[in-house]
Amino acid sequence: MDLIVKTCVSVVSDRTVDGKRNGVKLVPKAEKKRSRRRGCEVKESRLFTIRSLYFVFIYSVSFNCLRHTNELEEMRQRLEARKMLVEKTLVIACKVTEQDVKTKEDSLSAEMRSLLVGGTTLSIAKNKLQV
């Protein structure tokens, strides 16, 4: 940005003119050609300044766009990492729950067998008592 400010200051300093009278510049005929050249130089200098500002603006916009794109990509990566962590946690929780269900099923089936055996024994004992 210092370059832009220096360029703008040089353009402003090119505008200062000595020998003004009522807003009209008093220039001898021989110097008119030089002043026209100087006017062209000032226009070229202004054009250069405008182009420089334009390229600086485009560069800053591109830089900011790239920076935001990188930030979004980092956010996506963090989100993906969290998603994978949650999925792993859910998978582990499901496996633990599945194992708990299997152990409870096994214990219940064992209890059912013992109840079935007990019921059968009771039924046989009742039949013996009745006969």
Domain that holds residue 101: 2-13+27-130
Residue 66 lies in a domain: yes
Count of domains in the chain?
Answer: 1
- 75, pLDDT greater than 70: yes
- Min mean pLDDT across 1-5, 27-31, 39-43, 49-53 is at 1-5
Higher pLDDT, 1 or 57: 57
Cα separation, 74 vs 61, whole angstroms? 20
Range among 12-21, 31-40, 43-52, 97-106 rated most confident: 97-106
Residue 123 lies in a domain: yes
Residue 19 lies in a domain: no
